[in-house]
Amino acid sequence: MNLRLHIWRQKEPGAQGMLKAYDVADVSEHMSFLEMLDVLNERLLENGEDPVAFEHDCREGICGTCGMVINGRPHGPEPKTTVCQLHMRSFHDGDSITIEPWRASAFPVVKDLVVDRSAFDRIVQKGGYISVNTGNAPDGNAIPVPKVNADLAMDAASCIGCGACVAACPNASAMLFTAAKIGHLHALPQGHAEKGARVYNMVLAMDDEGFGACTNHLECEAACPKGISSLFIAKLNTEFVITSLL
């Protein structure tokens, strides 16, 4: 298939960027979206042009490194799919595709489609550390965890920190990310020791990074490649208000 891409090109942080059009011919429907960009980049390199910068690592949908907004949707049109797992069969011959970086002032553009997501790392750092020296790895079932809680923790822990929630949110809020991190630890007994401090510090860190506030549009939930539920945001709201007022 033949495609026309409109890709955000920006030389460096703070520079004026713009959408630039590229035609890509003979794209196989079996290619992943990133492979399609690889093909474009090879051609750009052959012509002595600057290739399109984008991030990727595992290319199997588990690391959270990749991410770009495709026709207004983070990670593109398929639900619960990272862009590395998105395939060209989701598009049609002659399609025009607009590709933009995550947009949020807390995620400044580094170059083209690459944004700086270290704000997420700083939020996670505020989540605290395990203050007890636990020695060797404990016996698997030494601490009983009810199945419901284990499942809940696993659901939240499936967050790969890609930032699609922020990119999708009209307010660039990081609530789904923060709520998933908090929700995952709080569903387990090991996470209870520092529960109050964790919610408090992570929410404040999230605000300090300049993310927006949640207005319950729930775009994040729709965009999340792991389908993380807004349930965790509701839980975070309650936990934050209760712990900070007590």
Partner 1 sequence: MRRLIEVWRSTVFQKWVMAITGVMLGGFLLAHLAGNLLIFVGADDMNAYAVELRELLHGSAIWVMRAVLVISLVLHVRAGIVLAQRNRTASGGRYAVTSYQRSTLASRSMLLTGLLILSYVLYHLAHFTFGAIHTEYYHYIDSMGRHDVYRMVVESFRQPVITILYVVAVIVTGFHLQHAIASAFQTLGINHPRYSPSIKMGGTLLSILIVIGFISVPMAIIFGLVQ
Q: Which residues bind ligand HEM (CB under 6 A)?
A: 213, 215-216
Q: Specify the DSSP class assigned to residue 120.
A: H
In the chain, how many H helices and how many E strands? Answer: 8, 7
Residues 170-229 that bind partner 1 (CB under 8 A): 170-173, 203-204, 206-207, 210-219, 221-223, 229
Minimum distance from CB of 152 to partner 1 (Å)?
A: 12
> Quick check: 235 binds partner 1 (CB under 8 A)?
yes
> Quick check: 6 binds partner 1 (CB under 8 A)?
yes
> Quick check: 14 binds partner 1 (CB under 8 A)?
no
Distance of CA 208 to the CA centre of its chain: 19
Q: Please check whether residue 119 is in contact with residue 205, taking contact to mean a CB–CB distance below 8 angstroms.
A: no
Minimum distance from CB of 116 to ligand FES (Å)?
A: 17
Minimum distance from CB of 18 to partner 1 (Å)?
A: 10
Which residue ranges make up the site for ligand FES (CB under 6 A)? Answer: 56-59, 61-66, 82, 84
In terms of C-beta density within 10 A (0-12 exposed, 13-18 middle, 19 or more buried), how is residue 130 classed?
A: exposed
- Specify the residue, 118 or 216, whose C-beta has the smaller distance to ligand HEM: 216
Distance CA 61, CA 57 (A): 9
- Specify the residue, 112 or 239, whose C-beta has the smaller distance to ligand HEM: 239
4 phi-psi bin (left φ>0, alpha ψ -120 to 50, beta other)? beta
Beta strand 109-111 with 18-24 is unpaired
> Quick check: 246 binds partner 1 (CB under 8 A)?
no
Minimum distance from CB of 170 to ligand FES (Å)?
A: 24
Minimum distance from CB of 44 to ligand FES (Å)?
A: 21
From ligand HEM, partner 1, ligand FES, none, which one binds at residue 122 (CB under 5 to 8 Å depending on kind)?
A: none
Minimum distance from CB of 65 to ligand HEM (Å)?
A: 31
For residue 65, give Cα distances in angstroms to 69, 160, 232. Answer: 14, 8, 23
Residues 87-116 that bind partner 1 (CB under 8 A): 98, 100, 103-106
From ligand HEM, partner 1, ligand FES, none, which one binds at residue 234 (CB under 5 to 8 Å depending on kind)?
A: partner 1
Size of the site for partner 1 (CB under 8 A): 48
Q: Please check whether residue 63 is in contact with residue 57, taking contact to mean a CB–CB distance below 8 angstroms.
A: yes
Q: Please tell me the total number of residues recorded for the chain in this structure.
A: 246
From ligand FES, ligand HEM, partner 1, none, which one binds at residue 73 (CB under 5 to 8 Å depending on kind)?
A: partner 1
Count how many Cα atoms sit within 13 Å of the Cα of residue 4 in the half-sphere of its side chain. Answer: 6
Question: Per-residue DSSP letters for 220-231?
Answer: HHHH-TT---TH
**DSSP 3-state percent helix, strand, coil across the chain (nearest 5):** 40, 15, 50
